[in-house]
Amino acid sequence: MAQTVSVIVNAEDRERLAAVIGDRNRPLKQVQRARIVVLSAERLPVHEIARQTGVSRPSVWRWQRRFAEHGVDVLLREPSRKPGKTPLSADIISKVVALTCTEPPGEVTHWTGRAMAKAVGISLRAVQRIWDAHRLQPHRIRTFKKSKDPAFAAKVEDIVGLYMNPPAHAIIVSIDEKSQIQALDRTQPGLPLKPGKCGTMTHDYKRNGTTTLFAALNILDGTVIGRCMPKHTHQEFIKFLNAVERAVPAGKIIHAIADNYATHKHPKVREWLADHPRWVFHFTPTSASWLNAVEGFFSIITRRRIRRGVFKSVADLQDAIRRYIKEHNRSSKPFVWTKTAETILEKLRRLPVSFE
């Protein structure tokens, strides 16, 4: 497109254009069009008009031609456009939703956007909009495991009761161990985070040994007692219990929440508990580690300190874990459990497998 007309503005049109330019309530695009015509009438070069109005040269040529053909009125209305596509019918939308919730044909396990678009005869983007509007995500799946513990309900009520209504003059601790934490060293140094580029780390690594983290989370203030040990047998567990025993003030009953790992129920551990009567163990139901509050701390330390760490030795790994726990305890907050036992049990009753 190039300049093919010579813009001539009479007195009446100039007055109208000046009113449009001076009207502060006008849309910017209408003011720009009026300025294009006024500047064109002054015989300024096209590139200068484009610079002063903030538009492209083809836009200047376009509105010069339209003004010459239709006058000032064309500047104040939107040009006609081709009609858009017809919206998808309710039947097609219902078909996409229904198909998404069924098994796809062939040997595939779930629908993809392109497969659905081909099956229904619409575009991929249309399928994506329907899925988004109906909150359908066939590419995702969530796993679960329901406890078959016959005493599931009683144990949930017991542990949740400790979380939500801790007894007076007592300490509630959630105890567990995170075993086989690997001290991994990378084969090459990674690159740091930069604007537009994520940090890098080699996918291969050098194994420098493992350690086991025993941890006890104090529900009342959120502090953690942690010890790193080479193994996770009943001997190490008893050593850790002794460390917790020394840390808790005398005269306090200790309610300990633990899972059903064999080490926690070893005869030697039972003998130790018999010699320490202020300890009361509360075991979570089988396949219900989510009830153990310290698992949340293990998840946090894994994501924030261990997974991306570079450790030259096991001692280096253990020092990093100790420093993290010390830093965590300086700003710890009480653990807050919000779901009642009845809410948990009611939700689990809706699952197909019974826990009773």
Task: Give me the pLDDT at residue 1, please.
Answer: 52
Q: Are 82 and 112 in contact (CB under 8 A)?
A: no
Please check whether residues 184 and 326 belong to one and the same domain. Answer: yes
Task: Give me the pLDDT at residue 2, please.
Answer: 58
Please check whether residues 71 and 204 belong to one and the same domain. Answer: no
d(CA 58, CA 63): 9
d(CA 28, CA 142): 50
Output phi, psi for 228, to 5 deg.
Answer: -95, 130
| Other Cβ atoms closer than 10 A to 232 | 19
Task: List Cβ neighbours of 200 (8 Å cut-off, separation of 6 or more).
Answer: 190, 191
Residue 3 resides in a domain: no
pLDDT in tens, 174-230: 999 999 999 999 999 888 898 989 999 999 999 999 999 999 999 999 999 999 999
Nearest to 298 by CA among 240, 238, 239, 214: 214
Please check whether residues 291 and 341 belong to one and the same domain. Answer: yes
Position of tokens 């161990």?
177
Please check whether residues 108 and 158 belong to one and the same domain. Answer: no
Please check whether residues 115 and 225 belong to one and the same domain. Answer: no
Please check whether residues 105 and 156 belong to one and the same domain. Answer: no
Task: Give me the pLDDT at residue 144, please.
Answer: 80
Residue 355 resides in a domain: no
Residue 209 resides in a domain: yes
Please check whether residues 104 and 175 belong to one and the same domain. Answer: no
Residue type, 17: L
Please check whether residues 100 and 39 belong to one and the same domain. Answer: no
Residue 144 resides in a domain: no
Task: Give me the pLDDT at residue 3, please.
Answer: 61
* H or E segment to which residue 276 belongs: none
What CATH number does the domain containing 58 carry?
1.10.10
Task: Give me the pLDDT at residue 9, please.
Answer: 86
Q: What is the four-CA torsion angle of 157, 158, 159, 162, rounded to 10 degrees?
A: 110
Number of separate domains in the chain: 3
Burial of 66 (0-12, 13-18, 19+ CB in 10 A): middle
Q: Are 317 and 183 in contact (CB under 8 A)?
A: yes
d(CA 175, CA 244): 10
Q: Which residues of 90-103 are buried (b: 16+ CB within 10 A; e: fewer)?
A: eeebebbeebbeee
Task: List Cβ neighbours of 211 (8 Å cut-off, separation of 6 or more).
Answer: 181, 183, 228, 229, 230, 314, 317, 318, 321
Output phi, psi for 180, to 5 deg.
Answer: 55, 45
Beta bridge partners of 170: 253
Mean pLDDT by 10 residues, the chain (356 residues): 73 90 89 91 90 91 88 81 81 95 93 95 95 95 86 93 92 95 92 90 92 95 95 94 93 93 93 94 92 94 93 95 96 92 86 55
**Structural domain of residue 63, as residue ranges?**
11-76
Which spans in 71-227 are helix H? 90-100, 113-120, 124-133, 152-164
Please check whether residues 274 and 162 belong to one and the same domain. Answer: yes
Q: Are 163 and 337 in contact (CB under 8 A)?
A: yes
Q: Are 157 and 340 in contact (CB under 8 A)?
A: no
3-state secondary structure of 343: helix
Residue 145 resides in a domain: no
Residue 354 resides in a domain: no
Please check whether residues 32 and 159 belong to one and the same domain. Answer: no
d(CA 127, CA 133): 10
Please check whether residues 220 and 276 belong to one and the same domain. Answer: yes
Give me the sign of the Cα torsion angle 343, 345, 348, 350. Answer: negative
Residue 5 resides in a domain: no
Please check whether residues 200 and 299 belong to one and the same domain. Answer: yes
Task: Give me the pLDDT at residue 356, please.
Answer: 45
Indicate the residue among 76, 103, 125 that finishes a domain: 76
Residue 120 resides in a domain: yes
What CATH number does the domain containing 159 carry?
3.30.420.10
Structure tokens, 141: 């799946």
